[in-house]
Amino acid sequence: MKTPLLELKNITKAYGNLIANKDINLSIQPNSIHALLGENGAGKSTLVNTVYGIVSPDSGEIYWQGKKVEINSPIIARNLGVGIVFQHFALFPSLSILENIALGIGYTDKLSTLQKEVEEIMAKYRVQITNLQRPIGHLSAGEKQRVEIVRCLMQKPKLLILDEPTSVLTPLETANLFETLEVLRKSGCAILFIGHKLNEIKAVCETATIIRKGEWVGDYQLSQVRTDEIAELMVGNTLPAVSNRKPTKNPKVIFQFNHNGNIDFEATASYSENLQLKSGTITGLAGIAGNGQDQLMSYLSGETSGNKESIEYYDFSLQELTSESATAVSEFIGHLGIVVRNKKGVLYVPTERLGRSSLTQMNLIENAFLGIADKSQVCQGGLIDYKKVKQFSEDIIQEYDVQPPRSEALASSFSGGNLQKYIVGRAILQNPKVLLISNPTWGVDISAATFIRNRLIELRDLGMAIFVASEDLDEMFAICDEIAVIKQGKLSKAEKVEELTIEKVGMMMMA
């Protein structure tokens, strides 16, 4: 047996009474692709931050190439040869690709010299990035990830840590990433792969370390365990399946986007099809990040308002949504802002959990209040009824199994999956008539993802109209009744899922 490149022995880290890691072991061999698996909140981030010098363990030992080391800072980690690409990219949108790489590695020579070095690295490891002078803000999520990877590779890492690297990638981008990882492995670099898409994990990784609730479960040869067995080891019990969808009788159009030529957003988008959101229907929007879906969702939600007649809203009551005979008079709301649309029952959950869907330095009760569409329900005489807001927050926590169940805790103290469950629950418990939601399970573990998907299906079966923008095609086909594709701002007609395949939608996204 070779000497491990990295070995962690009995790593323990506690934050007060919360034990994030307890006696965890991890051994990564040279030239290997090793998976670290566990639910959100299992302790993966704490463990990775320990390896990268962000967190100091309370006890335990770290060995690098057989020698005991102390990693007290990211500088020490990088000097050893550890590189990391976090789930949330650390890039400056207004600066170019080349400038971001220079800043990240502390490059002080001419940018023209750096460009040659970057192009050599990209050619060696088969990483494709065109036009290094482009601003980061103009890139898709997949391109931003490649910039982060190249920036790491410029430092010649011996161990590359990837946190949820495929969460926002198309199938083709994922295949290209896996090709790069194999080239890296063969060139002598080990890779620690953190992810939740178990089929992908099995395809690219040889071994996996599984942790659950802060404790080490074991190391497994992935060729010898089934996907469902891995999931059960991660959560400690059998996972529920995604609910079956009930056929909707006589769905009613509740919300309609009327194509009327070019609509200028941050980037010009020209939508070529109308979009109808119907009662008891989940409509999916597939597309590579950066193709106009963010602008469309912003316009539909009212974050961006514009042409009055571009959006038509049918004001059914919740009871009428499941009635066969009910009719409603429509009104045009394209000029109305998000506050007014919220009060009409049109709610939006954007992709960004931090800073947009929640304020990290506020607790869950305060974040619950910010997300309530109709503030009159919890305010009287200009004063906030704190008890009502707290009760609403605790209802979300209980209904959506948010852990730890503490309303007074800051949003920043929760794992990504638990915070996402809270944000989605906050919207759903307000019984919206139309729910617009982007990447509902981005960076969420398999248990939380199944939970959220089942809740969306339950909402659909109650008659609500749901519009889901997601780069996860497996998710789209699991929960959607129909799917439209957006590419370079062009919106296709929504087609029934039964008439589509993942391959066909993938080709539409790339064509």
Taking only the tens place, the pLDDT of each residue in 29-66 is 999 999 999 887 788 989 999 999 999 999 999 999 99
Could you tell me how far CA 20 lies from the centroid of its own chain? 22
- 61-70, 124-133, 348-357, 425-434, range with the lowest pLDDT: 348-357
Give bridge partners of residue 331 from the DSSP assignment. Answer: 313
Q: How confident is the model at residue 258, as a pLDDT?
A: 83
> Above 50 in pLDDT, residue 268?
no
Q: Which amino acid is at 126?
A: R
Give bridge partners of residue 332 from the DSSP assignment. Answer: 312
Structure tokens at 130: 């065109």
Structure tokens at 355: 């800073």
Please give the Cα distance from 464 to 322 (Å, whole number): 9
Characterize the bridge pairing of strands 18-28 and 253-257.
Answer: unpaired
State mean pLDDT over 308-330. 83
Nearest to 83 by CA among 151, 181, 165: 151
Among residues 174, 200, 235, which one ends one of the domains? 235
Q: 185 and 309 share a domain?
A: no
427-457 tens-digit pLDDT: 999 999 999 999 888 767 777 888 889 999 9
Residue 14: inside a domain, yes or no?
A: yes
Q: Is the dihedral of CA 154, 171, 350, 311 positive or negative?
A: positive
Q: Sorting pLDDT into bands at 50, 70 and 90, what band is 145? A: confident
Q: How confident is the model at residue 173, as a pLDDT?
A: 76
Residue 386: inside a domain, yes or no?
A: no
Nearest to 444 by CA among 466, 467, 470, 477: 470
Q: How confident is the model at residue 264, as a pLDDT?
A: 47
* Domain extent for 298: 253-359+429-510
Give bridge partners of residue 64 from the DSSP assignment. Answer: 6, 67
Are 478 and 278 within 8 A, CB to CB? no
State mean pLDDT over 488-495. 87
State mean pLDDT over 4-25. 93
Q: Sorting pLDDT into bands at 50, 70 and 90, what band is 261? A: very low
Q: 225 and 352 share a domain?
A: no
> Above 90 in pLDDT, residue 16?
no
Q: 216 and 327 share a domain?
A: no
Please give the Cα distance from 24 to 43 (Å, whole number): 10
Find which of 59-73, 74-88, 162-176, 375-389 is predicted with most confidence, using mean pLDDT: 59-73
Domain count, the chain: 2
58: three-class secondary structure by DSSP: coil
> Above 70 in pLDDT, residue 232?
yes
Q: What is the CATH number of the domain that holds 208?
A: 3.40.50.300
246 versus 394: which is more confidently predicted? 394
Structure tokens at 217: 């479960």
Among residues 207, 235, 263, which one ends one of the domains? 235
68 versus 330: which is more confidently predicted? 68
Residue 415: inside a domain, yes or no?
A: no
Q: How confident is the model at residue 260, as a pLDDT?
A: 59
Report the length, in residues, of the chain.
511
435-451 in b/e form (b: 16+ CB < 10 A) is bbbbbbbbbbbbbbbbb
Please give the Cα distance from 310 to 471 (Å, whole number): 26
Phi-psi region of 323 (alpha: psi -120 to 50; beta: other; left: phi over 0): beta
What predicted TM-score, i.e. pTM, was given to this entire model? 0.72
Backbone phi, then psi, for 348, in 5-degree steps?
-130, 130
Please give the Cα distance from 266 to 244 (Å, whole number): 39
Q: How confident is the model at residue 444, as a pLDDT?
A: 75
Residue 88: inside a domain, yes or no?
A: yes
